[in-house]
Structure 1
Amino acid sequence: MTKPTAVSVRDLACEIRTGRQSSLNLLESVLDRIEAIDELNAFITVTEESARNRARMADDAAARGDDLGPLHGVPVAIKDLRTRKAGIRHTMGLAPLTDNVADDDSITVERLEAAGAVIVGTTNTPALGHTIKTENKLVGATPTPFDHDRSAGGSSGGSAAALAAGVVPLATGSDIGGSLRVPASCCNVVGLKPTFGLIPERVPRDGFNTHSPFFVGGPMARTVEDTAVLLDVLAGQDDRDPFSVPQPETDYTGATDRPTNELSVAYSPNLDLQPVSQVVRETVNDAVTELAAAGATVDTVDLSLPSYEDLSMAYVTQVGVFFSAFAQHLGDRYDIDFAAADVEDTVHSTITLGTETDAATDRLQNVPRTAAYEEIQDTLAGYDVLVTPTLTVPPYSKRLADGYPTEIDGHSVMGVPTDVMLTWVFNMTGHPVASIPAGFTDEGLPVGLQIVGRRFAEEDILSVAAAIERVRPWTDQYPGV
């Protein structure tokens, strides 16, 4: 029996569709694997019953000669935040929602199941997806499979760990500051934050809350091609999302075959914004050097973004307002008093960030945000993509209580999440970005690099990502766990 991560998603779906592989048998191996990696806390809820029903349906359709779609019988994991499946526990990582059950499907689940996918469970996330370590009071901390003392990243850490541990070939994540890309970097997988509006969200009560900073859902996978397949399933307009846009007439999967010598890349080791550890710089530089040797045009560029202090303050202000409003909506809907609720201290501090911000102060943060957008636009005007490190350091401690590094590359830093990542800038600007594996430290810890594209130019990102994957393949470099 083929493992779900051993072949491409397209080949796996074809095997099930043509009867050479049983979706139900494949699912049973997935459920066994979930049990085997229980110490990773990658899942909050495993959906055995509904998954078996879906797998049987896929096998029955194959026996009739029916085609359920591009994900016919393929197992998929979904992040337990805004992605929800009716009748399945939906916690958003919050202890007060331990017994909450979703009463409707999110658009992402609708599209996954319309494409034939078998949803096997919901993956771990910090409460409200509020930070870049995946730990909560429900199931505990999720480490990277490469080092069980270090974080899988957040807030899509459960999805990234499940992929790296070989449970499923596809998973969903979401991103408001790096929540897709940080776990992708920590777990040596691919995570794509698409252009705002490309993948629609149906947000109960406040469909307009995802723009400051830009909050998006996106695909995660082990390979670039599988990521492209999932993007094609999830993208496209839905009128229930006021920001959603029509899907461009783009062959995302076909973009992965673009010749390397047609690609042009701007490379920045640190966005000229903040310190990056030597081991991360060297690993990403090696990947970029190999890409150039394979025929791509690669130029090191300088950027003139607003200062780290001004731009990070803009981000922290707007993300604080976002989470404060998010918590208030949930409090009203589920009768949660966050001031007294059993939630992590970091949840309280994140919510507090926005409670004392007035509307004018919040809106004024768009000034440095606009300057950053214009600078990235100017840089991309002469290139297909911009490449940078994803994180400024290797994977850090998995425990929320341990905090973050206070020194990077000999520079004192504040020990806050924005110090350890270069991802949040692009939630301010709205550009699409993927994080892909770049290589490993001498300790065997994964390092990721970001590929930034023009708005709605995901095909350029996928083309460069696939070119790097060809020269530095990583699918045989996962631990047994």
Structure 2
Amino acid sequence: MDETTAAGIARAIRTGDRSPVRVVEECLDRIEADDHNAFVTVISEKARERALEAERAVENGDDLGPLHGVPVAIKDAYAYKAGVRNTFGSRAFTDFVPDRSAPLVTRLEDAGAIVVGKTNTPEFAAKGVTDNALAGRTRNPFSPDRTAGGSSGGSAAAVAAGLVPLAQGSDHAGSVRIPASACGVVGVYPTPGRVPQAFRPNAYRYDLPHVSSGPLARTVEDAALALDVMAGSHPAEPFSPPDDPAFLEATDRSTNGFRIGYAPEFAGAPVDPDVRRVVRDAVASLEHAGGTVERTSLDFDEWDDAQDAIMTGLEIMYADLAEDLHTAHGIDPLARRDLVDDHVIDRIETGRTRTALEYKRANATRSKLFRAVQAVFEEYDVLVTPTLAVPPFESADGLPETIDGRKPYGPLGWLLTWPLNLTRHPAASVPAGLVDGVPVGVQIVAPRFDDEAVITTAAALERERPWIDYYDR
């Protein structure tokens, strides 16, 4: 295991058992051999230069960061790396090169991580599957014809395929957790603001729904290690929580005495029977880890209104994003509509017509949902649900039209992730098992700001049902 995990690689580099130069070269070789279309841009020479610097630091006996020499990948969306092309998955931004790095990228590099490239995303991260007219479709490493999920599908596929041990994603309706489930990896949606985004010119752009950046990794330890580096308050981030959890320490804590609520029909979604079975078995194993599991449900049935609320927020968010990109970088997606997918244009234009009253009504529905989720945590320490209602589906088939004989109630009806982006509760998807050889995830949700409970529960499940053997390498 240690040979393919971020924590194991970092330990081996610190002891001199592995060379940063060799680690990065092996990583680049794997990407060149078959990257599953996970990468949009690979920065081989920059990565090699950083690896050489990392090797000299080891030889000189310098203080080494917790991710020293570890290759990482960054989603090609809002986490800029200075001097590296950032396309947002759009032909309209093929030549855009930011002159500054996002805070989370700076923190990863300051901790010794070596960025090897930017990973594929649907255009402007606007779908739950990863394909676009610029780079094409990312393939699921477990089954190339199936979706890798999205919108952080490139990052999830890169980790699942062993191209990198660690990658970053962003999540505004499940965009870290969806591909984590589809690709059989760990994906964490931290409390919004926990990992600073510091968007400009509008730092409040992602208030409805709440967007958060988080890691994708093969192990809970790796995800926690990344969060210890990425998380922490930042003066330019208005949503920074006042506390700083100890994520890595949380992996060693016990779930003995945890009250665990299991909600198999969270988000009002019908769930495939095989998914339900695998997730139920995974949840039951938490009892062996000392928890008490009870079936529960939310006192909330306005799921159509809730989905309308998040769609309203997403439309306004994309209109705001387009304006910010024009203001900050002089590139207007609407002025380049021949290079932008119609569904993105529709979201931007619809968002521009939304009224303050519509936004208020969306927040009123969101408030009801928030109270319902809060009520669950008056009885339970964590809530667990399926992450997706279906296993990863054939990409050529498009979104599922029926699930367990029922029609999903809207475009998000196959997801059980998006309500948490309305309520701001931290969550993660971790592997629950396989259905016909492809992964299924279980979603772990904790009270607001209790990110450590998510990590502790995820680590307990990993100890009970290790998934590292799922991977070819």
> Which residue number in structure 1 is paired with residue 439 of structure 2?
446
Cα 1:124–1:202, aligned 2, differ >3 Å: closer, same or farther?
same
1:476 to 444, 469, 472: 469
> Which residue number in structure 2 is paired with residue 326 of structure 1?
321
Structure 2 counterpart of 1:289, which letter? A
1:303 to 286, 298, 303: 298
Cα 1:397–1:325, aligned 2, differ >3 Å: closer, same or farther?
farther
Cα 1:95–1:267, aligned 2, differ >3 Å: closer, same or farther?
same
What TM-score, normalized to structure 1?
0.94
1:104 to 81, 100, 116: 100
Cα 1:205–1:272, aligned 2, differ >3 Å: closer, same or farther?
closer
The CA deviation at 1:479 is 4.2
1:317 to 312, 316, 319: 312
User: Does residue 467 in structure 1 map to residue 464 in structure 2?
Assistant: no
Structure 2 counterpart of 1:41, which letter? N
Q: Distance in 2 between matches of 1:200 and 1:260?
A: 29
Bigger drift between 155-164 and 60-69 goes to 60-69
The CA deviation at 1:293 is 3.3
Structure 1 counterpart of 2:62, which letter? D
1:429 to 417, 423, 435: 423
Equivalent residues of 2:87, 2:96 under 8 A apart: yes
Cα 1:194–1:95, aligned 2, differ >3 Å: closer, same or farther?
same
> Which residue number in structure 1 is paired with residue 150 of structure 2?
154
1:53 to 25, 49, 63: 49
The CA deviation at 1:163 is 0.3
What SS is found at the alignment partner of 2:209? coil
1:30 to 22, 27, 32: 27
User: Does residue 19 in structure 1 map to residue 16 in structure 2?
Assistant: yes
User: Does residue 419 in structure 1 map to residue 416 in structure 2?
Assistant: no
The CA deviation at 1:456 is 1.5
> Which residue number in structure 2 is paired with residue 357 of structure 1?
354
Shift >4 Å, 4+ stretches: none
Structure 2 counterpart of 1:364, which letter? R
2:112 to 110, 116, 121: 116
The CA deviation at 1:302 is 2.2
User: Does residue 182 in structure 1 map to residue 161 in structure 2?
Assistant: no
Q: Distance in 2 between matches of 1:67 and 1:21?
A: 17
User: Does residue 409 in structure 1 map to residue 400 in structure 2?
Assistant: no
1:90 to 80, 86, 102: 86
The CA deviation at 1:7 is 4.8
Deviations 1:329-367 (A, max 9, x none): 224533334263312233223334423211111121111
What SS is found at the alignment partner of 1:412? coil
User: Does residue 388 in structure 1 map to residue 385 in structure 2?
Assistant: yes
Equivalent residues of 1:327, 1:351 under 8 A apart: yes
> Which residue number in structure 1 is paired with residue 221 of structure 2?
225
What SS is found at the alignment partner of 2:200? coil
> Which residue number in structure 2 is paired with residue 290 of structure 1?
285
Equivalent residues of 1:37, 1:165 under 8 A apart: no
Equivalent residues of 2:74, 2:119 under 8 A apart: yes
What SS is found at the alignment partner of 1:431? coil
The CA deviation at 1:116 is 0.7
Q: Distance in 2 between matches of 1:79 and 1:455?
A: 26
What SS is found at the alignment partner of 2:241? coil
> Which residue number in structure 1 is paired with residue 194 of structure 2?
198
The CA deviation at 1:123 is 0.5
Structure 2 counterpart of 1:474, which letter? W
Structure 1 counterpart of 2:428, which letter? A
The CA deviation at 1:405 is 1.3
Superposed counterparts of 1:203-218, under 5 Å: 203-218=199-214
What TM-score, normalized to structure 2?
0.96
Unaligned 5+ segments in structure 1 are none
Q: Distance in 2 between matches of 1:292 and 1:245?
A: 31
The CA deviation at 1:320 is 1.2
1:255 to 247, 250, 257: 250
User: What value does the CA root-mean-square deviation take over the aligned residues?
Assistant: 1.7
Equivalent residues of 1:272, 1:304 under 8 A apart: no
What SS is found at the alignment partner of 1:299? strand
The CA deviation at 1:375 is 1.1
Equivalent residues of 1:142, 1:151 under 8 A apart: yes
Structure 1 counterpart of 2:299, which letter? S
Unaligned 5+ segments in structure 2 are none
Deviations 1:264-313 (A, max 9, x none): 21110012612111111111001111222343211111211242211111
Cα 1:272–1:90, aligned 2, differ >3 Å: closer, same or farther?
closer
Structure 2 counterpart of 1:440, which letter? L
Equivalent residues of 2:267, 2:416 under 8 A apart: no
Deviations 1:162-203 (A, max 9, x none): 000001111100000000000000000001000111111121
Equivalent residues of 1:306, 1:372 under 8 A apart: no
> Which residue number in structure 2 is paired with residue 343 of structure 1?
340
Bigger drift between 470-479 and 86-95 goes to 470-479
Cα 1:412–1:435, aligned 2, differ >3 Å: closer, same or farther?
same
Q: Distance in 2 between matches of 1:155 and 1:337?
A: 19
